[in-house]
């Protein structure tokens, strides 16, 4: 069993699931270090751990035990204010759709800046490995997520209907998804919708700095920016994201 002084959060920095875990740790005042990995290179690192898959985030606890997945990490923090049915839909349907949709536009456009964003805030060896393997990695990401340009219009329509659902949720529930206080469900929704909210709030702003949205996505993002869901995300980030410990 490996013991360390602080918890260690392994992330792919731009991942919204990783932001969900990072925010929960920040919110709960937990001292941790963040090890920022590059896609592709992360596999070599995560395979050294006793976990079933290479998906991040992974939290390595001080006693050497491990939580894999943002949901289990939030369970471990014991944050209150969860709404399981809303969080489950966000985690299993809305968030993968948003990821697939954005990558379908970004990976097909060499000027999108996505390569630099994926490797910029990682360690030097991770970044070098990632950049060298990019010609192989990029098509692997496209096929792994089915993030092809041809499916982008359909993905935009599907994200739109997820926002119809979430607009309805917030109109029924008011400012917070569970009761009168900010809680786990709010944090989950805001972080998993963050990639489409053009946030100027840290850490999302710094991590995604340099993205140039392809025309195909820019108009969808502009349209979404007027929706209640996106305004709600911006408001929650502006008022609740609070201090970011590990930038
Ligand atoms: N449901 C999981 C999803 C995690 C996930 O899909 N992580 C992606 C990043 S967005 C990942 O690590 N992909 C690379 C891999 O699986 O090797 C969670 O909530 O943490």
Domain residue ranges in the chain: 7-77, 84-240
Looking at CATH, the fold of the domain delimited by 7-77 is given as Glutaredoxin (3.40.30)
Q: How far apart are CA 216 and CA 207, in angstroms?
A: 22
Q: Looking at residue 238, what is its pLDDT?
A: 94
Ligand 1 pocket: which of 22, 55, 76, 92 to mutate (most atoms <8 Å of CB)?
A: 55
- Write out the chain's pLDDT in tens, 247 residues: 455 689 999 999 999 999 999 999 999 999 999 999 999 999 999 999 999 999 999 999 999 999 999 999 999 999 999 999 999 999 999 999 999 999 999 999 999 999 999 998 889 999 999 999 999 999 999 999 999 999 999 999 999 999 999 999 999 998 899 989 999 999 999 999 999 999 989 899 999 999 999 998 999 999 999 999 999 999 999 999 986 665 4
Q: For residue 161, with 0-12 CB atoms within 10 Å meaning exposed, 13-18 middle and 19 or more buried, which class applies?
A: exposed
Give, in order, the Cα–Cα distances in Å from 215 to each of 88, 92, 100, 126: 31, 28, 17, 30
Q: How far apart are CA 124 and CA 135, in angstroms?
A: 19
Q: How far apart are CA 106 and CA 4, in angstroms?
A: 38
**What is the average pLDDT value for the chain, to the nearest integer?**
94
Q: Looking at residue 168, what is its pLDDT?
A: 97
Q: Evaluate: CB of 129 within 6 angstroms of ligand 1.
A: no
CA-nearest residue for atom 13, ligand 1, is 55
CA-nearest residue for atom 14, ligand 1, is 55
Q: Looking at residue 121, what is its pLDDT?
A: 87
C-alpha of residue 98 to centroid of ligand 1, in Å = 13
Give, in order, the Cα–Cα distances in Å from 159 to each of 18, 70, 90, 99: 20, 21, 11, 10
Mention every residue, 6+ apart, whose C-beta is less than 8 A from residue 195: 14, 16, 98, 99, 102, 204, 208
C-alpha of residue 11 to centroid of ligand 1, in Å = 9
Q: Looking at residue 2, what is its pLDDT?
A: 53
Q: Looking at residue 239, what is its pLDDT?
A: 95
Tokens of 196: 């489409």
Q: Looking at residue 246, what is its pLDDT?
A: 54
**CA 244, 207, 89, 230 torsion-angle sign:** positive
Instruction: Check: CB of residue 144 under 8 Å from CB of residue 53.
Output: no
**CA 137, 130, 56, 53 torsion-angle sign:** positive
194, 210, 198, 232: which is closest to 94 by C-alpha?
194
CA-nearest residue for atom 2, ligand 1, is 69
Q: How far apart are CA 84 and CA 122, in angstroms?
A: 33
C-alpha of residue 160 to centroid of ligand 1, in Å = 22
Instruction: Check: CB of residue 36 under 8 Å from CB of residue 122.
Output: yes
Looking at CATH, the fold of the domain delimited by 84-240 is given as Glutathione S-transferase Yfyf (Class Pi); Chain A, domain 2 (1.20.1050)
39 CA closest ligand 1 atom index: 14
Q: How far apart are CA 197 and CA 215, in angstroms?
A: 17
Ligand 1 pocket: which of 11, 16, 17, 207 to mutate (most atoms <8 Å of CB)?
A: 17
Q: How far apart are CA 30 and CA 47, in angstroms?
A: 25
Q: Looking at residue 4, what is its pLDDT?
A: 65
Q: How far apart are CA 70 and CA 58, in angstroms?
A: 8
């Amino acid at each position: 069993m490996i013991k360390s002084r602080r918890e260690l959060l392994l992330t792919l920095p731009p991942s919204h699931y990783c932001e969900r875990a990072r925010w929960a740790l920040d919110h709960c005042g937990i001292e941790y270090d963040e090890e920022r990995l590059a896609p592709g290179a992360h596999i070599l690192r995560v395979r050294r751990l006793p976990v079933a898959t290479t998906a991040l985030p992974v939290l390595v606890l001080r006693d050497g035990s491990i939580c894999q997945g943002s949901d289990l990490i939030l369970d471990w923090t014991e944050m209150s204010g969860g709404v399981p049915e809303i969080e489950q839909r966000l985690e299993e349907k809305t968030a993968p759709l948003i990821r697939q949709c954005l990558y379908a536009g970004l990976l097909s456009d060499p000027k999108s800046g996505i390569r630099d964003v994926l490797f910029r805030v990682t360690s030097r060896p991770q970044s070098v490995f990632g950049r060298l393997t990019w010609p192989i990695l990029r098509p692997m990401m496209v096929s792994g997520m089915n993030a092809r340009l041809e499916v982008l219009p359909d993905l935009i329509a599907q994200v739109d209907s997820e926002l119809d659902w979430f607009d309805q949720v917030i109109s029924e529930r008011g400012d917070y998804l569970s009761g009168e206080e900010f809680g786990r469900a709010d944090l989950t929704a805001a972080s998993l919708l963050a990639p489409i909210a053009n946030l100027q709030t840290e850490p999302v702003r710094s991590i995604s700095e340099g993205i140039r949205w392809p025309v195909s996505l820019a108009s969808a993002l502009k349209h979404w920016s007027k929706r209640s869901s996106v305004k709600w995300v911006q408001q929650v980030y502006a008022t609740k994201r609070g201090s970011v410990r590990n930038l």
